[in-house]
Structures are given as structure tokens and as C-alpha cells.
Structure 1
Amino acid sequence: MNDLFSVAPLVVVECLALAALLGAVLASFVGCAVARSLAGQSFLTGRSRCDSCGHVLGPFELVPVFSWLRQKGRCRWCGANIPARCPVTEGLTAAAFGAFVWRYGVSLQTMEYLIFTLILLAVALVDWDTGFISDGLLLAGILDFVLLTLLRGEGAAALGRGLLAGAALAVPLLLIVLVMDRVLGRESMGGGDIKLFFTVGLFGSLRTDLLVLLLACLIGIGLAFVPQKTAHEGEPSGAIPFGPAISAAAVLSLLWGEPFVAAYLNLFV
């Protein structure tokens, strides 16, 4: 447990509720920022509008999750469908924020993971829509790891451990992918996915590297059943972006990876 549970239960509930609310609001902002950026628009100025009719959305139409449910997934003015991924990403991010506070308390480590969760959300949304993982977002994740590690006072040793874990996850995967590309005669995994695995590895450990890879594969199989409009440019028909699966696996591993691996290893002691 963490220091959060040394306070009154009501305070704990309030902290978790505030964390979840913050997660939902920030997820809504990230979704808006990604959509506007991909459309070549600024996400720093202008009111939120319906993508179909252009109607400016009011406060009650912008409440994460609940507005979508209240409007039954449609714009109140033109009836256009609002993508279900909006409430799904908002709800999942809210749950992740609450879980991180529950797991790690109110701390710099929690802040590091919350920021990384938002970066991973942006990575997942961009990759799902474009089949491309932005180096800028990966760099933001690396900076999050470096700056918050230094702020926690852990220094060069922690940075070195993260670098080792990231390399241990990405380098063998890169070698396997190069062999597979040669055998298949085509790209078997994008370079962005490998760089994302490296970035994710920074936040984990050698013990959780294999778990992240396994979870990403399992989640990727599940996402294969989620309908997509078209294959992205340069990808074979039916190709599924791997970034969302890697991102989800990273969040799950940061939350419960170490306890899971420890429990598994204890089975052999």
C-alpha cells in the first residue's frame, strides 16, 4: 500500500474520484488535440464544435462520458454519430488515473505515470488513425521519464536501469523483426512500434519486459476484431496498428506488472 491510506477513508475516496475526473477531462482534451492536429487545425484556440454540422458545443455537451451517454452517441443538432471511442478512451483513462493513485499514492512517481498515460493515449489515437507513431510523442515520453526520475532524486542509477530495460526490450525485438522482414520479403513490424517498445521499457524493468510484450500481443489480437475503415498507406490490407496495444500493455504493466511477475516467480520457489 502507499501513504494515501494513512489518511481518512473519505479523503481517499475524494482523491480517487478527483484523479478519475482529471483523467476523463484530460483524455477528452487529448482526443480533441489529436483530432484537430490531424486535421491541420490548432487545438489551442477555438471552441469545440460538432465535426459534421459545426455547431459550437455547450458545457453540458462536453462532460466526458456522460454527455455521450445522455445524447445516445449523437449530436443533438444534426444527429451525426459521435465515435464510441470518445467515451471509451475517457472512461479507460479515468480508471487508469484512479488506479495509479490507488497503487502509488500522491507522489512524483504517480505524476510521471499519469503524464506517460496521456502520452500513450495520444500515441494510440494517432497510430489508429494514421498508422504512424510520432517521434515527437516518443520524445515527450522519454523526457517525462528523465525529468521525473531526476526530480525524485534517483539520479544516474535509475536512468541507467531504465535505459537497460528499454534496450533489453527493443534491441532483441529489432533483430527478430529484421530477420522476419528478410524471410517474408516485407515489413513485419514498423520502426515506430520498436521505438515505442523502447520508450515503454524505460518506465519498467527487466522483470516486466517480457510481460509487456506478451500483453501487447494479446491485446493486439483483440484489436484485430475492432473494425477499421481502411488500411493505412504503405500497409498491407487488414493491417492493425500495434501502437494502441503496446500503449494499453504499458499501462497495465506499470500498474500491476511487478506484483504479477513476483507472484509468478514465487510459484517456482
Structure 2
Amino acid sequence: MLHTDIFLTAYILVITGILGAVFGSFINCMAWRIAHGENVLSGRSHCAVCDHPLGAADLVPVFSYLFLGGRCRYCGEKISPRYMLTELLMAAAFVSVVWKFDVSFEALRYLVLVCILLGLALVDLEIYEIPNVFIIVGIVWWAVTIPLMEESAVSQITRGLIGGLSIGIGMLLLSLLFDKILKKESLGGGDIKLFFMVGLYLGIGGSLLNLIIACLFGIILALGLKQNRIPFGPAIAAATLVTTLVGQEVVQWYIGLF
């Protein structure tokens, strides 16, 4: 559907970007509630400082932050720019996925995966923990979407399990080795589960590339945060998006060198 008519393409991508920003806002709220032990499904959005319920004008993605000058309408306290940046990031991620996979079930598969990855990344940044619910939902979504893909179910399951188990078991063994050498936890259990979950989507080749990119992003994150304890989930999540968008081309280019 894309790339056939410039106006149709622009329309679809604009709508996709708006949806991405809306989902980014929702997931930001959901992640904050999970991290702070609040009910995700009930209760109105409120200011994190004064607890005043937010109105509709306070919840428009990106624009509310800009119009309010980055401050709460009710108490005047500064709002973290993380919220607006997350909304913009999700808008860009949604547009990139649809640009890559067109309007298709494959695009839907990865759009939902991006939402899952954003949620767990935000929670990990907040409390240094990846709740199992994100991993479970990611695995279930992969299984549910298998019949919707053009690739045969047997091929998908085989490729996915090889990718997930290889990277998951490999990272577990590597983690146990480094734990013994360093006498402390080197990689959290949530990170290992996350590598397994995204490995189902990426396969073995994509998973290895994803690991390399995640390590590079992890180093950048460590340099940026400048603290001893570094959440690795956001690096894995960002690497998975990059691998999803360009991983196949990179792997094919690398194989072509031999």
C-alpha cells in the first residue's frame, strides 16, 4: 500500500506517527504505575508530584508538554522531559516499522512488540527490574501471530526456538561464568529472559546481531548515566528495534563477505 502514491503514503505515516505518540503516552503512564505499585487498569492519570488528576488538555501527546512549558498546570512543578521524548520516540518507531513492513500483519506484530519493549525499558530504568508480565506477553504475542505471517508455522517455530534458546541459554551460561569470576551478579535474570523472548522474533542470526548492538548501546547508556548500577533492558529493547528494522540486511551483507 505504501510507496505507490505519495499522498496515501504521507497520510498513512502521519496517522501512524500520531498513534505511536498516543501509545507512547499510554505506555509511559502504565510503566510509571507498575514501577510505583499502582493499579494499571483503574484510576485517573495524575501529577507525580501533587497527585492532582489530569484533564484532557493535560494528556495530549507532545503538545501538552510544550504548551504547559514542561510544568504541571496545577502545582507548577517541572515535568520530566522523558514523557515528551518517549512519545516522540514511539511516533518515530511506529513510522519506521510501517515504512519497513508496509500495512501488514507483520507490521502489526512488530508494532505490538515495540510497545512491549518500551514498557519494560521504562520500568527497568525506574526500578532496575523487568517484570515477568512483559516477557510472558511478548512470548504469547509471538505465538498468536504465527498463523498471520507468510512464512510457514513450522519454519517460524523452528527458527524462533533456535534463536530464543540459543541466545537465552548462551547468555545464562555466560552470566553464571562472569558471576563466579566477578563474585557478583553480572546480568539480571530479567535480561536473560528478555534475550530469549526477542530471540523468538529475530532467529539465531538476528539474535547474535542484537546482542552486539545491545552491548554497544549498553556502553553508551553506562557512559550517559555515570552510575554503578546500569539497567540493561533499555539497551536490549533499543537494539531489538534496530535489528528488526535493518538486521536482515546487515546479516545478509556480512554473509556476502565470505
- Gapped regions of structure 2 (runs ≥ 5): none
* Preserved contact between residue 121 and residue 237 of structure 2 (Cα < 8 Å): yes
Q: Amino acid of the residue matched to residue 264 of structure 1?
A: Y
Query: Paired residue for 1:84?
Result: 81
Provide the aligned C-alpha RMSD in A.
1.7
> TM-score, normalised on structure 1?
0.90
Query: Paired residue for 2:10?
Result: 13
Distance between the aligned counterparts of 1:12 and 1:193, measured in 2? 37
- Gapped regions of structure 1 (runs ≥ 5): 229-236
- Point out the more displaced range, 204-213 or 151-160: 151-160
Distance between the aligned counterparts of 1:112 and 1:189, measured in 2? 28
Q: Amino acid of the residue matched to residue 201 of structure 1?
A: G
Distance between the aligned counterparts of 2:101 and 2:78, measured in 1? 38
Matches within 5 A, 1:47-196: 47-152=44-149, 154-196=152-194
SS in 2 for 1:64: coil
Distance between the aligned counterparts of 1:24 and 1:223, measured in 2? 23
Deviation at 1:147, TM superposition (A): 0.6
Q: Percent identity?
A: 41
Distance between the aligned counterparts of 1:157 and 1:93, measured in 2? 30
Distance between the aligned counterparts of 2:122 and 2:247, measured in 1? 24
Query: Paired residue for 2:248?
Result: 258
Distance between the aligned counterparts of 1:180 and 1:36, measured in 2? 33
Distance between the aligned counterparts of 1:109 and 1:57, measured in 2? 36
Per-residue CA distance 1:217-259 (angstroms, 9 max, x = gap)? 111111123448xxxxxxxx71101001000100110011111
Moved segments of 4+, more than 6 Å = none
Distance between the aligned counterparts of 2:176 and 2:36, measured in 1? 34
Distance between the aligned counterparts of 1:174 and 1:53, measured in 2? 43
* Preserved contact between residue 34 and residue 123 of structure 2 (Cα < 8 Å): no
> TM-score, normalised on structure 2?
0.93
* Preserved contact between residue 161 and residue 203 of structure 2 (Cα < 8 Å): no
Distance between the aligned counterparts of 1:85 and 1:222, measured in 2? 18
Distance between the aligned counterparts of 1:148 and 1:92, measured in 2? 25
Count of residue pairs brought into register by the alignment: 257
